[in-house]
């Protein structure tokens, strides 16, 4: 599974442009979630790809829905699990092979 490391320049965009509901690396402020502000939750996270391309992407409808490590409080729409469970989930992930299941 491909992955990225979060930096101080990592954002999940809620901007009303082509970056909506995508990872953005930039020095400028981006309207959205500054991922480095949540080092526990985003130590390990997977985008749920809800409301994301290649499907239709509707502005204001849940930009950034993840499975991530549980922090101090409940989420606003993500799925959070204990750190150990997240590591086990990622260790068991394999890329799809062959045609998609029907």
Q: What is the pLDDT of residue 100?
A: 55
Contact in structure between 11 and 39 (CB atoms under 8 Å):
no
Provide the whole-model pTM.
0.77
pLDDT tens for each residue of 48-95:
878 777 777 777 777 888 889 998 877 777 889 999 999 998 888 766
Q: What is the pLDDT of residue 102?
A: 47
pLDDT tens for each residue of 13-59:
999 898 988 999 999 999 999 999 999 999 999 888 787 777 777 77
């Amino acid at each position: 599974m491909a992955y990225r490391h979060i930096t101080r320049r990592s954002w999940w965009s809620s901007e009303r442009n082509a970056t909506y509901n995508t990872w953005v690396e930039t020095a400028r402020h981006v309207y959205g979630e500054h991922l480095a502000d949540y080092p526990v939750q985003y130590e390990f996270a997977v985008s749920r790809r809800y409301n994301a391309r290649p499907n239709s992407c509707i502005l204001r409808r849940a930009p950034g829905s993840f499975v991530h490590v549980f922090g101090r409080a409940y989420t606003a729409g993500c799925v959070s699990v204990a750190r150990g469970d997240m590591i086990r989930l990622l260790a068991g992930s394999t890329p799809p092979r062959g045609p998609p299941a029907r």
